[in-house]
Amino acid sequence: MNVFASLAVFGGRDYIENCKQLVQYILDHGHCVLNKHIVEDDLHELDEGSTPHQIHDQCKQWISEADIIIAEISTPSHGVGIELEYATQLGKPIFSFYLEKEKKNVSKMIMGYKDIKKFSYTSPDDFKKILPEILG
């Protein structure tokens, strides 16, 4: 299965270690994360040669190719919001995760969107309980 990981980049990488574990779990179970580089520590250097327009177009292409979208929404992010809106326009299944302790910071627009499935977690270990159901 092709997965697009929608994660905060410039909005903050406070929970990047959780995101790394989320992406690694998906990869370890034989799925493809189209934008797996998003969890790399040197992400900004990896994207350095690309213009914002190129990054925008590439993300839209990956979202189009994805079977599902998995988002970490604990950190407010304009980019994540735009990616999720684009994915909903394409009718992509969207599964989002947020740290229970950050629930008050999660976008009310995302929380209120009935077509985005939302899961709270307290530690990355919770991914092992939730992801098998999503990934099949």
Percentage of the chain beyond pLDDT 90 is 76
Q: What is the pLDDT of residue 30?
A: 96
The CATH number linked to 18 is: 3.40.50.450
Give yes or no for residue 75 having a pLDDT over 70. yes
Of the pLDDT bands very low, low, confident and very high (cuts 50, 70, 90), residue 47 is low
Q: Quick one: which of 113, 75, 68 has its CA closest to 95?
A: 68
Phi (first) and psi of residue 2, to 5 degrees: -90, 130
pTM for the full predicted model: 0.92
Tell me 67's DSSP state.
Answer: S
Which residue range is the domain that position 20 belongs to? 2-135
**Total of domains in the chain:** 1
Mean pLDDT of the chain: 91
Question: What gap in Å lies between CA 50 and CA 71, rounded to an integer?
Answer: 23
Which of the two residues, 40 and 127, has the higher pLDDT score?
127
